[in-house]
C-alpha cells in the first residue's frame, strides 16, 4: 500500500466526523460558528498596560478535539501562555492545542486607546471578538524645566517636561495623552501666545517640549491635560 495514501487516510480518520478531511481548510463548506467560537470575559479594559481578561475559544459542532487553535490580537498582547502553547516574539499571536474542546489565554491591555480585534482560528476558520481599551487619565501632573532663567534672545532654550502620574492606581497613563502648555506674563497676567505649545505623552507618561523667547519678563508656564483643566502645574521662567 502506498505510504502517502496511508498518511492521507490517517489524517481523514483524525478529522473524524467531517465529510472530508479538507473541510477545516475550506470555509465555504461549514458555518463559522459550527467550527469555533471565541469569547472574552471582559469587553472593556483599562489602557494601562496591566488590565487583563480571559479569552476562550471553543470548538463547536463536529470539530474534533485537540485541534491547534491560534489566537491573535492587533492591540495589546497575550500573557499566561500555557505550557503547551507557542507564542510570537511580541506575544500578539499564540498557538495551542484545544483540551476538552477549549483553548484559553489571557489578553493584557496595551497603553494605546482603541479597540482590539481578538481572533481565534482553527484550520482556515477564524472567529473574532472585540475588546475596548479605555483611556486612563492621570490624577496628577508635574511640570519641570531644565532652566528657570534664560536670555530673551530668541535662541536660548528652556526644556519643559511633564510627568503624568497615577497616585492611586497601578500601570501607566494611556499613551498619546495631549498636554497643553500656555504662558502668561506673571506681572500683568497677559497671555504670551508665542510660548504656547502642545505635546503628546509617550509610553512612560512623559511629554516634552521647549520654548524660546524674545519678550523680557517673568513668565508663568502652565501645563494642563487637554479636557482636564482641573489637572495643572505651573513653573516660572525669567527671560532677561
Decide which of 1.10.1420.10, 2.60.40.10, 2.60.120.10, 3.60.21.10 is the CATH code for 22-134.
Answer: 2.60.40.10
Mean pLDDT over residues 146-167, rounded? 95
pLDDT at site 25:
58
pLDDT at site 79:
82
pLDDT at site 93:
92
pLDDT at site 88:
58
Residue 88 or 49, more confident? 49
Question: Do the domains spanning 22-134 and 140-239 agree at the CATH topology level?
Answer: yes
Spatial contact of 164 and 147, defined as CB atoms under 8 Å apart = no
Integer Cα distance of 189 and 204 in angstroms: 33
pLDDT at site 21:
45
pTM beyond 0.75: the answer is no
Mean pLDDT over residues 129-147, rounded? 94
pLDDT (tens digit, 9 = 90+) per residue, 172-213?
Answer: 899 999 999 999 999 999 999 999 999 999 989 999 999 999
Q: Which residues pair with 41 in a beta bridge?
A: none
Which of 2-16, 118-132, 168-182 is modeled with the greatest confidence?
Answer: 118-132
Q: Please enumerate in sequence order all residues whose Cβ is within 8 A of that of 136, keeping only pairs 6 or more positions apart, or say none.
A: 46, 47, 48, 111, 166, 169, 171, 172, 173, 174
pLDDT (tens digit, 9 = 90+) per residue, 58-88?
Answer: 999 888 999 999 999 999 999 866 665 666 5
List the domain boundaries for the chain: 22-134, 140-239
Residue 14 has pLDDT above 70, yes or no: no
User: CB neighbours (10 Å) of residue 101?
Assistant: 15
Residue 190 or 22, more confident? 190
Integer Cα distance of 104 and 209 in angstroms: 44
Confidence of residue 121 (pLDDT cuts 50, 70, 90): very high
pLDDT at site 16:
39
pLDDT at site 63:
87
Integer Cα distance of 109 and 118 in angstroms: 12
pLDDT at site 229:
80
14-22 contacts: CB < 8 A, separation 24 or more? 14/64, 15/64, 16/62, 16/64, 17/62, 17/64, 18/62, 18/64
Mean pLDDT over residues 43-66, rounded? 92
Residue 7 has pLDDT above 60, yes or no: no
- Count of positions (residues) in the chain: 240
Spatial contact of 138 and 164, defined as CB atoms under 8 Å apart = yes
Architecture of the domain spanning 140-239: Sandwich (2.60)
- Considering the chain, what is the average pLDDT of its residues? 85
pLDDT (tens digit, 9 = 90+) per residue, 175-185?
Answer: 999 999 999 99
Amino acid at each position: 500500500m502506498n505510504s502517502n495514501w496511508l498518511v492521507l487516510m490517517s489524517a481523514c480518520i483524525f478529522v473524524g466526523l467531517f465529510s472530508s478531511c479538507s473541510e477545516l481548510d475550506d470555509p465555504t463548506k461549514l458555518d463559522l460558528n459550527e467550527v469555533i467560537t471565541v469569547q472574552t470575559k471582559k469587553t472593556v479594559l483599562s489602557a494601562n498596560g496591566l488590565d487583563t481578561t480571559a479569552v476562550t475559544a471553543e470548538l463547536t459542532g463536529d470539530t474534533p478535539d485537540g485541534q491547534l487553535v491560534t489566537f491573535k490580537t492587533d492591540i495589546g498582547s497575550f500573557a499566561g501562555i500555557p505550557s503547551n502553547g507557542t507564542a510570537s516574539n511580541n506575544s500578539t499571536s499564540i498557538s495551542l492545542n484545544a483540551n476538552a474542546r477549549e483553548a484559553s489565554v489571557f489578553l493584557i491591555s496595551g497603553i494605546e486607546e482603541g479597540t482590539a480585534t481578538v481572533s481565534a482560528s482553527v484550520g482556515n476558520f477564524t472567529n473574532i471578538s472585540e475588546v475596548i481599551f479605555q483611556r486612563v487619565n492621570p490624577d496628577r501632573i508635574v511640570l519641570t524645566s531644565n532652566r528657570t532663567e534664560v536670555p530673551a534672545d530668541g535662541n536660548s532654550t528652556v526644556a519643559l517636561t511633564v510627568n503624568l502620574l497615577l497616585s492611586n492606581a497601578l500601570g501607566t497613563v494611556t499613551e498619546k495623552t495631549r498636554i497643553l502648555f500656555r504662558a502668561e506674563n506673571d506681572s500683568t497676567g497677559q497671555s504670551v501666545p508665542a510660548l504656547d505649545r502642545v505635546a503628546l505623552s509617550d509610553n512612560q507618561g512623559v511629554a516634552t517640549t521647549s520654548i524660546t523667547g524674545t519678550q523680557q519678563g517673568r513668565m508663568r508656564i502652565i501645563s494642563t491635560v487637554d479636557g482636564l483643566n482641573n489637572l495643572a502645574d505651573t513653573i516660572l521662567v525669567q527671560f532677561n
